[in-house]
Amino acid sequence: MNEITKIKNEVKLKQWAEKIAPTVLPKTQLGKAFEYAFKKREFLGNYFKDGDCAISNNAAENAIRPFTVGRKNWLFSDTPKGARASADIYSIVETAKANRLDVFKYFELLLTVLPSMEFFINPDILEELLSWNESVQKICKAI
C-alpha cells in the first residue's frame, strides 16, 4: 500500500469516526472506544503508516512470562551464579522462540560449535551464532 493510500484511509476513518461518535452514548463501550481513539489519535495513526505495527504488546508480555515464572524458581538457586545461568538459559530459549527456531536444534548447534570457536580471542565471531543470523535460521528453523 503506497503512502497516499495510507493517508486516504486514515482520513476516511477519521471522518467516519467524527460523523458517528456524536450519535453514540458516551458511557457505552463504543462511546468509550471513540473517546479513547480520539485521545490517542496521534498514536493510532501509526497503524496506517506501518501495517506490521502490533496493536498490542501481548506478544512481548507472552515472551517475558517465562522469566516471571523463572524469577520464582531462581529464589531457590543455590548461588547467584546458578541463578544467572538459569536466567541466561531462559533468555537464549525465548530469543530462539522469538526468531522461530527449533530450540532443541539451536542448542544442539550451540553445544556443537561453541567448544571449537575461539570466541575469547575474537568475541565478534559469536555474531554467527545469534538466533537471527541467516545461517542459523537455515539450520535451526522450526517447522
Task: Give yes or no for residue 94 having a pLDDT over 80.
Answer: yes
Centre a 10 Å sphere on the Cβ of residue 96 and count the other Cβ atoms it contains.
23
Over residues 100-135, the pLDDT tens digits come to 999 999 999 999 999 988 888 888 889 999 999 999
Question: What is the DSSP track for 54-96?
Answer: -SSSHHHHHHHHHHHHHHHHHTT-SSHHHHHHHHHHHHHHHHH
Task: Give yes or no for residue 68 having a pLDDT over 80.
Answer: no
User: Which residues contact residue 42 at a Cβ distance below 8 angstroms, ignoring those fewer than 6 apart?
Assistant: none
Beta carbons of 81 and 75 less than 8 angstroms apart: no
Over residues 10-39, the pLDDT tens digits come to 788 788 888 989 999 999 999 998 888 888
What's residue 74's pLDDT? Answer: 65
